[in-house]
Amino acid sequence: MGQAAADLRMSVPEFLAWDATQSQKHEFVGGEVFAMAGAEDRHVTVSGNLYVALRQHLRGTPCRTFMSDMKLFVASDDAFYYPDVFVTCGAADPASAHSKSEASFIAEVLSPSTAAYDRGAKFASYRRLPTLAEYLLVDLDTRRSDLFRKGADGLWVLHPFDAGQALRLDSVGLDLTAEQLFAEVEPV
């Protein structure tokens, strides 16, 4: 999570009005505003690779794929996030041009400054989305991925993928090779 923006506390409507006037992206969690930092090229490339694969795969369906410029609203937490990539198939989401709230799949590409937050508090918030079925965490340095899938019993189960293994995203019916996910990204 980014740094809290200088003592900015506000309601959801106040945040949305204020955020519309800002040139920088901000996440909003429980009344607090957090400035978003930029990402390194590997991060942007992997996010883009995932977006393109999902977008092409879901073409012609009611599902839509979004990247980090679209806000995702978690109503139960009064929170707006900018996931790296997410998919929504919800009937209500097309009505909102500036934020979505019915994500079925979310992916975060980890960075050293956000990895603990993405695995912890942010995942805890995302789990409150009734529509969410899968949450993917991609580690750039190890090229491993952790996919959390919600079972029929409501429990989240970890499905780890080692470097070089293909991913199976059941929520969208997509198999993605490691070569596709890490295309044009040099190994560390």
Report helix, strand or coil for 102: coil
Nearest to 67, CA basis, from 52, 45, 84: 84
Nearest to 88, CA basis, from 65, 55, 109, 71: 65
Q: Is the pLDDT of residue 184 over 70?
A: yes
Secondary element (H or E) of residue 26: strand 26-29
- Region of poorest pLDDT, from 67-71, 73-77, 94-98: 94-98
Domains in the chain (CATH in brackets) are 1-37 (no CATH), 38-73+82-181 (3.90.1570.10)
- For every residue of 119-180, DSSP letters joined together read HTHHHHHHTT-TT--EEEEEETTT--EEEEEE-TTS-EEEEEE-TTPPEEETTTTEEE-HHH
CA 25 to chain CA mean position, Å: 15
The verdict on pTM exceeding 0.85 is: yes
pLDDT per residue as tens digits for the range 85-138:
999 999 999 999 899 999 999 999 999 888 999 999 999 999 999 999 999 999
pLDDT per residue as tens digits for the range 2-46:
444 545 688 999 999 998 999 889 999 999 998 888 789 999 999
Confidence label for 164 from pLDDT (cuts 50, 70 and 90):
very high
